[in-house]
Amino acid sequence: MQKKILITFLFKEGAGPVFTLEMARGLAQNGCEVHALLSSKISNKKDWENEKAFKSITFIETGTRKTAVQTTIDFFLIKRHTLTRKFQNQTFDYIISTFYHPWSTTIFKCFKATKKIVICHDPIHHSGVGLLERWLTTHYIKAASDIIVLTQSFIPIVEKRFGYSKEHIHYMPHGRMSIYKQSTITPLTDCKNINFLFFGRIEEYKGLFILAEAYKKLTQSYSNISLTVAGSGDFSKYHAIFKELPQVKIINRYIADTEIDDYFSVPNTILVLPYLDASQSGVIPIALEYGVPIIASNTGGLKEQMDNGNLGLFSTPGDADSLMKQMEYFLIHPDFYIKEKKKASVYLQSLNWDTVTQKIIQI
């Protein structure tokens, strides 16, 4: 029986637009009737508009930082009622919210659906998340009838924290992010020069001080290395320590989807995720797509994301010496780099979206 699914995503940029589009395409490939409710400012709007596999797409105004208050008032006073009237004669099998948004819980109430599903990316709040955001996201997760987690290790956590029984918690692996990759071939070289890459939004829990300390230790013995830190967010507290390090490039701004290729297709690049705590990472699927080897902290669901530890190397969270040794391993064993690229290519086949979204259809 064909499933009728409404997918909602109300933010504009980051990995969310790509994740949501890839998942929607996977569901359509599995014969689902896919509808979408999206921000009118979503970064990949043209891709959504040009996709013929979807039944309908509705865009709503979500505003900017300057207009957020007025847009929110308009939504709650007018636009949510407009949505309800527009879809009053439709009943969906599922309404799926792919990422939290302050309006998400109210959006659920605008539609009739057999199941209201939340994809829970972070069942454990990162350090530094404020009390209001903790309350809002918890309320959002509890508003669903079913939860999808991206690593199996989160099932007991969701069960305990949010009071869901196991039959309403479902595991779906994070699918591929193939839209990003523009280069047809990622060069393989002799790894005489290695570029370590930190990519993603600058957040306290991501361990940039640990990365700086580990890289500093490594430069005392090796001169054939460089470090690139790319991402938006407040970098002011890290500026002084990174300024002292050799061969470091800082790109402290939002990186558009069209620019991602510029970082992940660079020969001899190794992604470093020195997170102090984490649930899962949207950067890992991008690195896998490019065959970029990964060094990650052994925290949260990162190891599970990396084929249960069969890919990459892992360091102790918060331990600069542990991270430095794993970074050094690639310098001592250049053949390991080549092996990692080949393993990633094989593992990717299990992450095709038409495969992973079958988990959703079976709910």
Residue 185: pLDDT over 60: no
pLDDT at 126: 66
Q: Using CB atoms within 10 A of its CB, is residue 286 exposed (0-12), middle (13-18) or buried (19+)?
A: buried
pLDDT band at 293 (very low <50, low <70, confident <90, very high): very high
CA distance 185 to 15: 23
> What's the CATH superfamily of 194-350?
Glycogen Phosphorylase B; (3.40.50.2000)
pLDDT digits (tens, 9 = 90+) for 4-47: 999 999 999 888 999 999 999 999 999 999 999 999 999 999 99
Residue 63: pLDDT over 90: no
Domain range annotation of the chain: 4-172, 194-350
Residue 187: pLDDT over 60: no
Higher pLDDT: 15 or 181? It is 15
Name the token pair of 362. Answer: 């079976």
pLDDT at 127: 63
Query: For residue 259, what is the DSSP state?
Result: G
Q: Please give the mean pLDDT across all residues of the chain.
A: 91
Q: Using CB atoms within 10 A of its CB, is residue 347 exposed (0-12), middle (13-18) or buried (19+)?
A: middle
pLDDT at 310: 94
Q: How far is CA 154 from CA 88, 159, 228, in A?
A: 35, 8, 31
pLDDT digits (tens, 9 = 90+) for 189-216: 555 789 999 999 999 999 999 999 999 9
> 4-172 with 194-350: one CATH topology?
yes
CATH number assigned to the domain covering 4-172: 3.40.50.2000
pLDDT digits (tens, 9 = 90+) for 250-279: 999 999 888 999 999 999 999 999 999 877
Nearest to 245 by CA among 191, 196, 200: 196
Question: In b/e form, how buried is each residue of 67-99, taking b as 16+ CB within 10 angstroms?
Answer: eeeebeeebeeebbeebeeebeeeebbbbbbbb
pLDDT at 300: 85
Share of the chain above pLDDT 90, in %: 80
Give Rg (Cα) of the chain.
21
pLDDT at 189: 52
Residue 124: pLDDT over 90: no
Kindly report the pTM of this predicted structure. 0.86
pLDDT digits (tens, 9 = 90+) for 136-174: 888 999 999 999 999 898 999 999 999 999 999 999 999
The Cβ-side half-sphere exposure at 281, using a 13 Å CA radius, reads 33
pLDDT at 114: 96
pLDDT digits (tens, 9 = 90+) for 212-256: 999 999 999 999 999 999 999 999 999 999 999 999 999 999 998
One-letter amino acid at 65 equals R
**Contact partners, residue 147, CB within 8 Å, separation at least 6:** 117, 118, 120, 141, 158, 162, 164, 168, 169, 170
